[in-house]
Structure 1
Amino acid sequence: MANWRIIGEVQSVETIAKGRGIRELRRLKKAYGAKNWRKKKGIANITFGATGKVMPAEIHWYEAHGVGQVEWKIKRLL
């Protein structure tokens, strides 16, 4: 379970990989189904559960039609 959460909207959303360009494609298909997968990134304000501190961060996630957005991760704090 993540100890952080997104506050507000994700800004500057970009697709950074799709289809066979995703390194984790085999695992995603096995876990969630064979869909049209995309890896995305964006900037959002996040808050940490332990401290309540709010910071901007670059976050990455995977998404597919019919599945939605899964496996969010913080790539770096800004």
Structure 2
Amino acid sequence: MNFTIISEITNIEIIAVSNSIRDLARLNKTYGKGCWRKLKGVATIRLDNGRIRVAELHWYEAHGIGKKEIKRKFYLD
């Protein structure tokens, strides 16, 4: 199910950095070389069916490239 982030992402934590990321080769090939980090945080999201939920999100980020592949892991409410 797709979602839209409707609040600021808070409680951001780094999960993995560079060689600790399993998908590092794919990220470099798809988006370009960068200092990749995998992060997690909490945000309020709106689901396609209109429901509003608080969820933990995971994503990849690199300096100069930005946030990529934001995924909803689980709901917190």
Quickly name the TM-score band, shorter chain normalised. Answer: over 0.9
Please give the residue correspondences for 1:1-78 in structure 2 after superposition, counting only pairs within 5 Å.
3-49=2-48, 51-78=49-76
Deviation of the 1:3 alpha carbon: 1.9
Q: Could you list the runs of 5+ residues in structure 1 that have no partner in the other structure?
A: none
1:14-42 deviation line (CA, Å, top 9, x unaligned): 11100100010000000011100000000
CA distance in 1, matches of 2:56, 2:2: 16
Q: % of aligned pairs identical?
A: 49
Gap regions ≥5 residues in structure 2: none
TM-score, reference length from structure 1: 0.93
CA distance in 1, matches of 2:60, 2:30: 12
Residue 33 of structure 2 aligns to a residue in which SS? coil
Aligned-residue offset at 1:66: 1.0
Task: Report the count of equivalent residues.
Answer: 76
**RMSD, aligned α-carbons:** 1.0
Displaced runs of 4+ in structure 1, greater than 4 A?
A: none
